[in-house]
């Protein structure tokens, strides 16, 4: 363990003795005078500048709007902009930079708009019947109905009908062969799109019958 | 799968939509002139149908006579049986009325409906009462006329040739004849009365 020791401070007063000679005194004096002058000048300049700035600022504040108004009232700015500025490229550039969709999503209340819309008028403009027909055709509703209702009975009739039609075809082919006739195939359909050839066939065929 | 836009473009070009209710098996025959066999089957079905009605009528009359006439002839001899000749006549009459009514109102009889046939006039349309009466009377009186459909290149029976009608395949269940149509045959004057033209008469 170290023993604590008291610290003693001894204050001694000494008499003032100017350092150096008179030359150094003069140098000090000159230096301090120069510093004072420089400081004073700087302060004066700063003060003047501040004063001028405030004065000029207030003058400009008063005069510039009036001058600008006077100028603007004498020229057609819109016309100048339209003539001189490439508005399309500015707009396109602006559109490139902003995401309108996101803005609409963020800022527009779509539900509110839909709530205020006249939906009846919208529906009137929608081709409902065409849409219904489209759906019916896409899902083949007639086929579904045929398959679901009376399918067995209908199938029986379909089979009978088709068999009878086949029999008719065989008979007509046989008759055509026996009578050396080749026209039946063309005359079977009941159409009138072109009556003249039909008539011709009929007349040319007449003697062979 | 076609999009609605494609569907719409297609049907805008095609005109109004006609939904296909005819079974796939019958679509290719739709509107064709029907041949002898299928028409004969339809006619037989009609005759059977009318025959059943006549037989029921006969049984009704027989029961009526049996109940209200026993005192005249208690032995139930031949006189009680209704005279069959009248019922043959009644059958013809009923056949005529039945076909007339069916053809004028529906354009097809029951047998024709079952076999997917339709009788059409000159414009491929349903015809009126007058023509229906003529045709059904002709058919009832002269059934063998149908045989000519075998030989005719246009599958027409004698009745069809005389009255300028046609029997076509029509599997749709609608009663209007203009679902698929099928316009007239080679008739130069559609407004004239249903008489036979020289070319048809020669057939």
Using pLDDT thresholds of 50, 70 and 90, give the confidence band for residue A45: very high
Q: What are the distances in angstroms from CA A186 to CA A181, A189, A204, B166?
A: 11, 7, 14, 16
Among the listed residues B88, B13, B106, the one whose alpha carbon sits nearest the alpha carbon of residue B51: B88
Tell me the pLDDT tens digit for each residue of A105-135.
899 998 999 989 888 888 889 888 888 988 8
Domain limits of chain A? Answer: 29-74, 109-139, 150-189
Residue A4: per-residue pLDDT: 62
Residue A36: per-residue pLDDT: 95
Alpha carbon distance A165, B44 (integer Å): 16
Tokens 């290149």 belong to residue: B153
Q: Which residues does residue B167 pair with via DSSP β-bridges, in sequence order? A: B119
Question: Per-residue pLDDT averaged across A23-29, rounded?
Answer: 89
Alpha carbon distance B3, A84 (integer Å): 48
Residue A194: per-residue pLDDT: 37
Tokens 């559609």 belong to residue: B190
Residue B191: per-residue pLDDT: 34
Report yes or no: A127 at the B interface, CB cutoff 8 Å.
Answer: yes
Residue A18: per-residue pLDDT: 61
Query: Residue B1: which of A138, A165, A205 has the nearest Cβ?
Result: A138
Q: Note whether B114 and B45 are within 8 A (CB).
A: yes
3-state helix vs strand vs coil in chain B, percent to 5: 55, 5, 40
Judged by phi (left if over 0) then psi (alpha if -120 to 50, else beta), residue B119 lies in: beta
Q: Which residues of chain B have pLDDT under 70?
A: 15-21, 69-82, 174-203
DSSP assignment of A89-120 equals HHHHHHHHHS-HHHHHHHH--HHHHHHHS-HH
Residue A31: per-residue pLDDT: 94
Percent of chain A with pLDDT over 70: 78
Tell me the pLDDT tens digit for each residue of A83-92.
888 888 999 9
Question: Per-residue pLDDT averaged across A90-105, rounded?
Answer: 89
Kindly identify which residue of chain B lies nearest to residue A146, measuring between CA atoms.
B23
Q: Which residues does residue A172 pair with via DSSP β-bridges, in sequence order? A: none
Alpha carbon distance B90, B98 (integer Å): 12
Strand, helix or coil at A193? coil
CB atoms within 10 A of CB A60: 11
Contact A202 B199 (CB under 8 A): yes
Is pLDDT larger for residue A166 or for residue A14? Answer: A166
Contact A171 B25 (CB under 8 A): no
Residue A46: per-residue pLDDT: 95
Phi, psi of A9 (to 5 degrees): -110, 125
Strand, helix or coil at B165? coil
Among the listed residues B86, B9, B4, B87, the one whose alpha carbon sits nearest the alpha carbon of residue B50: B87
Continuous segment of H or E residues that includes residue A113: helix A110-116
User: Model pTM?
Assistant: 0.54
Question: Per-residue pLDDT averaged across A59-64, rounded?
Answer: 91
Least confident window among A32-41, A44-53, B121-130, B154-163: B121-130
Residue B188: per-residue pLDDT: 35
Judged by phi (left if over 0) then psi (alpha if -120 to 50, else beta), residue A83 lies in: alpha
* CA-based end-to-end distance of chain B: 49
- Chain B, 69-108: which have a CB under 8 Å from a chain A CB? none
Contact A190 B32 (CB under 8 A): yes
Contact B41 A172 (CB under 8 A): no
Tokens 């709530």 belong to residue: A115
Question: Per-residue pLDDT averaged across A55-63, rounded?
Answer: 92
Alpha carbon distance A90, A92 (integer Å): 5
Using pLDDT thresholds of 50, 70 and 90, give the confidence band for residue A178: confident
Residue A56: per-residue pLDDT: 92
Tell me the pLDDT tens digit for each residue of A129-158.
888 988 888 888 877 777 776 656 667 788
Question: Per-residue pLDDT averaged across A68-90, rounded?
Answer: 87
Residue B75: per-residue pLDDT: 60
Alpha carbon distance A1, A25 (integer Å): 56
């Amino acid at each position: 363990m170290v023993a604590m020791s008291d610290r003693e401070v001894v204050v001694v007063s000494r008499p003032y003795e100017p350092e150096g000679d008179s030359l150094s005194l003069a140098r000090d004096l000159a230096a301090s005078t120069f510093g004072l002058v420089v400081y004073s000048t700087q302060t004066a300049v700063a003060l003047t500048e501040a004063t001028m700035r405030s004065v000029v600022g207030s003058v400009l504040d008063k005069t510039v709007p009036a001058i600008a108004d006077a100028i603007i009232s004498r020229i057609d700015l819109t016309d100048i902009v339209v003539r001189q500025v490439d508005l399309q490229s500015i707009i396109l550039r602006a559109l490139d930079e902003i995401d309108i969709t996101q803005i609409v999503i963020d800022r527009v209340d779509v539900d509110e708009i839909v709530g205020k819309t006249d939906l009846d008028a919208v529906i009137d403009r929608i081709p409902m019947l065409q849409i219904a027909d489209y759906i019916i055709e896409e899902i083949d509703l007639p086929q579904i109905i045929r398959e679901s209702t009376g399918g067995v009975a209908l199938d029986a009739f379909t089979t009978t009908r088709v068999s009878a039609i086949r029999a008719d075809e065989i008979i007509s082919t046989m008759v055509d062969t026996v009578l050396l006739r080749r026209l039946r195939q063309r005359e079977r359909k009941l159409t009138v799109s072109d009556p003249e050839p039909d008539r011709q066939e009929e007349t040319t065929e007449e003697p062979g019958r | 799968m076609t999009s609605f836009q494609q569907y719409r473009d297609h049907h805008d070009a095609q005109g109004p939509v006609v939904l296909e209710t005819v079974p796939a098996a019958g679509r290719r025959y739709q509107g064709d002139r029907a041949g002898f066999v299928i028409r004969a089957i339809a006619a037989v079905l009609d005759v059977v149908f009318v025959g059943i009605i006549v037989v029921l009528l006969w049984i009704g009359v027989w029961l009526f006579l049996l109940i209200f006439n026993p005192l005249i002839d208690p032995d139930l001899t031949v006189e009680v049986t209704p005279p069959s000749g009248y019922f043959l006549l009644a059958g013809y009459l009923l056949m005529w009325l039945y076909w007339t009514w069916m053809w004028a109102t529906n354009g097809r009889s029951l047998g024709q409906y079952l076999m997917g046939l339709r009788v059409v006039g000159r414009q491929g349309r349903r015809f009126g009462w007058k023509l229906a009466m003529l045709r059904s009377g002709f058919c009832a009186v002269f059934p063998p006329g149908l045989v000519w459909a075998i030989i005719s290149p246009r599958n027409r029976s004698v009745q069809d040739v005389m009255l300028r009608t046609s029997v076509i395949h029509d599997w749709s269940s609608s009663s209007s004849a203009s679902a698929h149509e099928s316009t007239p045959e080679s008739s130069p004057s559609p407004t004239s009365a249903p008489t036979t033209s020289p070319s048809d008469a020669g057939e």
